[in-house]
Amino acid sequence: MRLVLLGPPGAGKGTQAAIISEKLGIPHISTGDLFRANIGEGTPLGVEAKEYIDAGKLVPTSVTARMVEERLAEADAKNGWLLDGFPRTVEQAEILEELLNSQGQKLDGVINFQVDEDTVVARMLARGRADDNEDTIRTRLQVYRDETAPLIDHYGDALINIDADGEVEQVNARTMEKLGK
């Protein structure tokens, strides 16, 4: 299966993605994790991305898309994947569509985690990752509203809406049920 995960920052995408990918036997490809790995290793891509991530802004699409394209070309991603954090803009969705088209592939679904803003802010503050301070969180939510939320309309019928407010297991159960797994 080829799946995309959507939802505001702090919606629990990473946590749920890890469980879904394990259950479906497909790799979990997280742009946030890929950026953090590059930052940790001090690669040129990591150095460039860090500036944007620390400010709560999106890393330029040219950089992000190339990183995703290279990751999707790896052997373990041949027969399916769960993309977490990409696409994050309509432009990125179009790049993904072109990439899939060029390989005669298509998305099987777009999982959209729905959770209110108060909940995501509380979760991010509790998690305390390097980019989880109050200013950055506010910026990321604004970026989500302006740039990522339009993907909900963009994907239309492909959207699988999940109520992401609840215990980790509960949210996973809702997701597996909607996926028919």
Catalytic residues: 13, 88, 127, 129, 140
Is 57 annotated among the ligand-binding residues?
Answer: yes
To the nearest whole angstrom, how small is the minimum distance from the Cβ of residue 96 to ligand ADP? 10
Q: Does 27 help bind ligand ADP (rule: CB under 6 A)?
A: no
In the complex with ligand ADP, which residue's Cβ is closer, 52 or 176?
52
* DSSP string computed for 128-175: --TT-SHHHHHHHHHHIIIIITHHHHHHGGGEEEEE--S-HHHHHHHH
Residue owning tokens 């330029």: 60
Is 11 annotated among the ligand-binding residues?
Answer: yes
Residues 69-98 that bind ligand ADP (CB under 6 A): 85-86, 88, 92
C-alpha 160, offset from chain centre = 15
CB of 89 closer than 8 Å to CB of 58: yes
Kindly list the residues in this chain that would bind ligand ADP in the complex (CB under 6 A).
Answer: 9-10, 13, 31-32, 35, 52-53, 56-59, 64, 85-86, 88, 92, 140
